[in-house]
Structure 1
Amino acid sequence: MAIEDLQPYQRIVQDVKDQVRLGRLQASDKLGSTRELAERYGVAPGTVQRALAELRKEGVVYSHQGRGSFIRESAADAVADPTSLAIKRLEEKVDELSERLERLEAGEGRRS
């Protein structure tokens, strides 16, 4: 689905997620106020509120009454595509297995 086919609130959601994915928004970064975001995206404040509710539901942002909305620590995982997550898990497993192999080889060297 092209971005033009999305509802205005969905475009905001997609944009924030893209910015997190690209590293432009990182953990604890504050998003603009509802008014600022409405002006930036050219939408009504209610549309921004709907987008923020969706981003909270997806675990990308958290909000504090009177302080604003912030990017979650786990946002990068929430927006990562399944292929990237699978690759990351495989890399972690390879690292773990490499460490185990090094320990085994070091133990055999002492027995010789």
Structure 2
Amino acid sequence: MSNEAVQPYQRIVQDYSEKIRQGRLVAGAKLPGIRELSEKYGVAAGTVQRALTELRNTGLIYSHQGRGSFVSDASGKAVQDPTTLAIRALESQVAELSARLEKLEKRRDD
């Protein structure tokens, strides 16, 4: 997938997924706040929130209201069963395809 086809929230998801999988962020590590991530990636707070939701859905992070988001423990309860993870992956793919279709339709209308 080319960089222009990657939605801004997906770039954040990819970056943090990679950091977690490579061990650069370990279980319990706190992620930067929404404002900090928003500034770092040059995106709106809603885009960061969407990325964090995606990371939570895949079980890579968990969040505590008022405290922030943290890397999940691979052996902890945040990791979900394979069926749930597969459904979440499909949901993500559908969202990505919908966004790409919307972009193509917009080009056609211009």
TM-score by length of 2: 0.65
Higher helix share: 1
User: Any unmatched runs of 5+ in structure 2?
Assistant: 80-110
Q: Tell me the matched-pair count.
A: 76
Task: Tell which structure's C-alpha radius of gyration is larger.
Answer: 1
RMSD: 1.6
State the secondary structure of the residue aligned to 2:62: strand
Name the counterpart of 2:74: 74
Shift of 1:3: 3.7
Name the counterpart of 2:27: 27
What pairs up with 1:6-85 in 2 under 5 angstroms? 6-74=6-74
1:39-64: CA deviations, max 9, x gaps? 11111000000000010000010000
Work out the CA distance in 2 between the residues paired with 1:4 and 1:15.
Answer: 16
Which runs of 4 or more aligned residues in structure 1 lie more than 3 Å from their structure 2 counterparts after TM superposition? Answer: none
Task: Tell me the percent identity.
Answer: 61
TM-score by length of 1: 0.64
AA aligned opposite 1:50:
R
